[in-house]
Every structure is written in structure tokens, then in C-alpha cells.
Structure 1
Amino acid sequence: MKFPIQCPACNNELTVVKLRCDSCETEVAGKFNFPLLMRLEPEEQEFIIEFLLNSGSLKEMASKMGKSYPTVRNKLDDLIHKVKSLQTT
């Protein structure tokens, strides 16, 4: 299940307003933005994890994904562009 980060009614980005510890029932309230990586799609998050686990080797990732190196490189470039645009928002 995808963690919701956008409002289902108006499509604006949601914010976290309360965190709760189930163990001691401590609650922290405020307005918190989602971390940048959580604002990515699940498949984009998985790509980043695979990139790290493969020590940044796009050649290794291409081999494991059964895709060409240029295809994987383009995916990384698209992801870099998206991350840069999210940093400015």
C-alpha cells in the first residue's frame, strides 16, 4: 500500500500534524513536511535503494533489471531532475 502524500480530494500535498508512540503514548503535534524521498513514487524509492545497494553501478543495475545501460541512465537522470525540482518546493 502506498503511503498517501497527496490529498485525495484536491491533490495538494498533505502534511503530518501528529506523531504518536504506541509504547508510551507520547504525542508530538505540529506541522511537519514529508522528507524529500517519501515524496517520490514507490518505484522511484526502490530505484534509489537498488542504486545504493549496487554501489552506484548503473551497469550492474542494468544487468539485474534486464534493461540497457542507456535506459537505466535515463531513468536516473529523470530521477535527479525530479529530486532537484522537489528540493525547491
Structure 2
Amino acid sequence: MQAIFWSTEEVALRAKQFYEDGIRQQVEFGDNIGKMIVIDAETGEYGIDPTGVETALKLKNKKPTARLFTLRIGYDVAVSFGGASELTTK
């Protein structure tokens, strides 16, 4: 089998499309809110756990070449980098 090369943007786009096209309706409720969902961007297979680590390991063990993308259920952003900063001039 030949490898398919996707940019990180393509992986994110495909996984988000799977999420919006059907996964969201299945998972966004109750105790799932705030948990992490890991989606295989090629197949749409997914799993849910509090951190996403267990699911990512399971999906990678099942398919080592899986292109995975992680989202926080019920939120627009899973992780934020940086913080408040002030510009100073001298």
C-alpha cells in the first residue's frame, strides 16, 4: 500500500468534516462534553476519552499510519497556546 501524504491542514479539514457531518450529533451530550475525541481523518473512525491519549494509542495500534486529529467535544478550541502579553517600547 502506498502512503498518502496530507498536510496538517488537510488532516484537520477532513477530520472536522467527519465531525460536522455526523459524529457531532452522536457525541455532543451529557458526560461527553469537555472530553477529547480523536478522529482518524482517513476513515472517520473515532474514540472518546478524557485526554485523548488512550484513544490515540488504540487507533495507532490498530492502524499505525492513521492520521489523527483531536477535538474537545462541545468546544470550538481544544488547546490554546500563549497568553496575554504587553508590548513595551524603549
Q: TM-score, normalised by structure 1?
A: 0.28
Indicate the structure whose relative CO is greater, using CA pairs within 8 Å and at least 6 residues apart. 2
Larger Cα-atom Rg: 1
TM-score by length of 2: 0.28
More helix by percentage:
1
